[in-house]
Amino acid sequence: MNQSKRLEIFSRLAVAIPEPTTELIYNSPFELLIAVVLSAQATDKSVNKATAKLFPVANTPQKVLALGETGLKEYIKTIGLYNSKATNIIKLCQSLLEKHNGQVPQTREQLEALAGVGRKTANVLLNTAFGQPTIAVDTHIYRVANRTGLAIGKNVLEVETKLDKTVPKQFKQDAHHLLILHGRYTCIARKPRCGSCVIEDLCEFNEKQNL
């Protein structure tokens, strides 16, 4: 795929999705961090339901630690893998207090050192909380990038690396959410909604289908 086509794809997505942002509900970098950790193998909707009850009670590392692991589980037990997530969140809060004065760090290395935080979660925080042009490749972005031909890769890191090199500069900040939302609502896993897709004529998956 050439760069002019990439530019047109992102230009159209930006018009179709005028407010590209996370669907997780949060009011601080710490709340976003907790929400993203909880969102692994869970829907944003289910996370928002849980955090709507959790955050009014505990929205700082100190307050989460005051709940304790057992208390935290009561708030997040509707979310998949809640036992291991609760363990990681308690460890994460301890690290934030011991090493970062209770603040969420703003470097990838420091974020990935936190319990339960991998490269994808770190990228989400860097992009959404701190305005850095990172792209967190989840299942939606992986699918859209490969299906459209934007960035073909055999694993998420390969796709991330290719997107990082090829996304037009003016769309670097928003590319993450543009691709996620497009994948979540239009370029869905089964029976993609090609007929209502604003980039249908530019998509290489579509071109292959028409051969």
CATH architecture assigned to 29-129 = Orthogonal Bundle (1.10)
Residue range 39-54, pLDDT digits in tens:
998 999 999 999 999 9
Q: What percent of the chain has pLDDT over 70?
A: 97
Per DSSP, the residues of 94-130 read HHHHHHHTTPPP-SHHHHHTSTT--HHHHHHIIIIIT
**In this predicted model, what pLDDT tens digit does every residue of 189-201 receive, in sequence order?**
999 999 999 999 9
Q: Which residue has the tokens 């692994």?
A: 40
Where are the chain's structural domains?
3-20+134-209, 29-129
Mean pLDDT, residues 6-15: 97
Is residue 73 among the annotated active site residues? no
pLDDT in tens, 101-129: 999 999 999 999 999 999 999 999 999 99
| Two structure tokens written together for 158 | 């390969």
Instruction: Choose among 85, 138, 102: nearest CA to 30.
Output: 102
Residue 120 annotated as catalytic: yes
Q: For the whole model, what pTM was predicted?
A: 0.91
Query: Cα–Cα distances in Å, from 50 out to 20, 53, 76, 169, 202?
Result: 23, 6, 6, 36, 39
**Which residue among 45, 77, 99, 138 is the active-site one?**
138
CATH tag, 3-20+134-209: 1.10.1670.10
Please pick, among 53, 120, 154, 162, the residue that the annotation labels catalytic. Answer: 120
Which pLDDT value is given to residue 211? 37
Residue type, 193: R
